[in-house]
Structure 1
Amino acid sequence: MSINVGQPVPDFTAQATGDTTVTLSQLRGKQVVIYFYPKDSTPGCTTEGGDFRDRKAAFDEVDTRVFGVSRDGLRAHENFKAKQEFNFELISDKDESLCRLFDVIKLKKMYGKEHLGVERSTFLIDREGKLAREWRGVKVPGHAEEVLEAARELHAAR
């Protein structure tokens, strides 16, 4: 199953850092950025999270909540969040339910071996809970800024 741009994103509830539970339907009225990344405390994921962290005030200005998602557990997420001073919550998706919902588990190659892993992907959900934009196979440099620009455009268009 995959969600197409313009379609409603099915409601979900997931455990996140800060002892919080994230339920998509409770975020109606706000724009939501959900970015999927492979693993806590790895170089690309640290850079990407830092780029979102450094733009949090700008995302707040356009009424947009940011969440990072990986298959790591909450303890690893809490450590990663604290060490990098992330000012947004990280969702733990150990059972891969969100990864499957957004179709981000892909066959990847590392050191010549194939394995299933998370394809770095970002989704922008509008105030009504519809998928407004998606980025798949993300390259980290400049990505958070591009997502912020899309969030600004979506905010301005309402």
Structure 2
Amino acid sequence: MSSATIGKKVPAFKLPATGDQEISLSGLKGKVVVLYFYPKDSTPGCTKEGQAFRDLHDQFTALNTVILGVSRDGVKAHENFKAKQSFPFELLSDKEETLCNLFDVIKEKNMYGKKVMGIERSTFLINDKGVLKQEWRKVKVAGHVEEVLEAVKAL
């Protein structure tokens, strides 16, 4: 599979998601898409990031923008996380790392002194024509969602 490149159309994808659905890029035609990858449901940083997207969700929606969270957790874990945090957007389950590999977000990380492969917190902005316009890698949660919102406004 090819990889997502800024300025090029994002290759088609389809993944299981919360709300008992499958979400595909083609099903989002005509909408701006914010795809944010996070390491794990219900962990402190991931919860804060999701809450920030939740809190600004209305502003994104007003700009014809869909927010989608992606991690390797299963749909059941996603449903619990989404319900507990009242997320108004869907979470995609990427257990096979298809989308993670497409966007090259699986990186070696240090976890309690051990090297593990995991998702590097990253966000991608896809315009309403399916073209990757911007990416943020090694994301720090504080202020990030506001930065993404400004980028959407600038499209």
TM-score (norm 2): 0.97
1:34 and 1:6 map into 2 onto residues whose CA distance is 16
Pairing 1:99-114 to 2, within 5 Å after superposition: 99-114=100-115
Q: Which residue of 2 aligns with 1:146?
A: 147
Report whether the alignment pairs 1:19 with 2:44.
no
TM superposition shift of 1:104: 0.3
Q: Deviations over 1:76-103 (max 9, x none)?
A: 0000000000000000001111101110
Aligned-residue RMSD, C-alpha: 0.7
Q: Deviations over 1:26-79 (max 9, x none)?
A: 211110000000000000000000000001100011100000000000100000
Report whether the alignment pairs 1:42 with 2:43.
yes
Report whether the alignment pairs 1:5 with 2:6.
yes
**SS of equivalent residue, structure 2 residue 129:** coil
* Structure 1 unmatched runs, 5+: none
1:6 and 1:28 map into 2 onto residues whose CA distance is 17
Which stretches of structure 1, 4 residues or more, deviate above 6 A after TM superposition?
none
Pairing 1:4-153 to 2, within 5 Å after superposition: 4-153=5-154
1:144 and 1:18 map into 2 onto residues whose CA distance is 23
Indicate if the aligned counterparts of 2:3 and 2:11 stay in contact, CA closer than 8 A. Answer: no
Indicate if the aligned counterparts of 2:52 and 2:145 stay in contact, CA closer than 8 A. Answer: yes
How many residue pairs align between the two structures? 154
**SS of equivalent residue, structure 1 residue 51:** helix
* Amino acid paired to 1:25: S
2:27 and 2:21 map into 1 onto residues whose CA distance is 13
**SS of equivalent residue, structure 2 residue 87:** coil
TM superposition shift of 1:149: 0.6
1:8 and 1:134 map into 2 onto residues whose CA distance is 14
Percentage of pairs with the same residue: 62
1:37 and 1:130 map into 2 onto residues whose CA distance is 21
